[in-house]
């Protein structure tokens, strides 16, 4: 996964396998729709509905999840050193939770 911060948008490019595991493509998010970006992981609850995606506890959580907080996209594995939570407004997802090795500037 590559996260690029451009003047007017944030681009999250998923690799081939990340697209396969999450059943989703890359994201192009206008900066005007970003409420906040944090380096924390929201709590997961057993009542989350995964449609579609992959979830193997302790290994990978990838795809679209419907939670009490709303519709979320997750791509986090145990190998990621950084996890970013991106809160959104006026988009189909309320939150993106993505793991990466890179540090955002």
How does pLDDT run across 44-101, given as a tens digit for each residue? 766 677 788 898 888 999 999 998 889 999 999 988 889 999 999 999 999 999 998 8
Sign of the CA dihedral running 41, 66, 92, 22: positive
Domain that holds residue 11: 2-100
> What is the per-residue pLDDT for 32?
97
- Total count of domains within the chain: 1
Which whole number is the average pLDDT over 10-16? 96
Is 27 among the domain residues? yes
Is 58 among the domain residues? yes
Is 81 among the domain residues? yes
Is 89 among the domain residues? yes
Whether 27 and 11 have beta carbons less than 8 Å apart is answered as yes
Distance, CA of 105 to CA of 17 (rounded, Å): 25
Q: Is the pTM for the entire model greater than 0.85?
A: yes
Is 105 among the domain residues? no
């Amino acid at each position: 996964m590559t996260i690029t911060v451009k003047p007017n948008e944030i681009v999250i490019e998923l690799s081939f396998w990340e697209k396969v595991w999450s059943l989703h493509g890359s994201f192009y998010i206008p900066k005007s729709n970003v409420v906040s970006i944090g380096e924390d992981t929201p709590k997961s609850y057993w009542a989350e509905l995964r449609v579609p995606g992959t979830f193997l506890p302790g290994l990978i959580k990838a795809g679209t999840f419907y939670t009490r907080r709303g519709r979320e996209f997750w791509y986090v594995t145990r190998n990621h050193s950084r996890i970013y939570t991106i809160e959104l407004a006026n988009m189909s997802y309320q939150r993106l939770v993505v793991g990466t090795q890179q540090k955002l500037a």
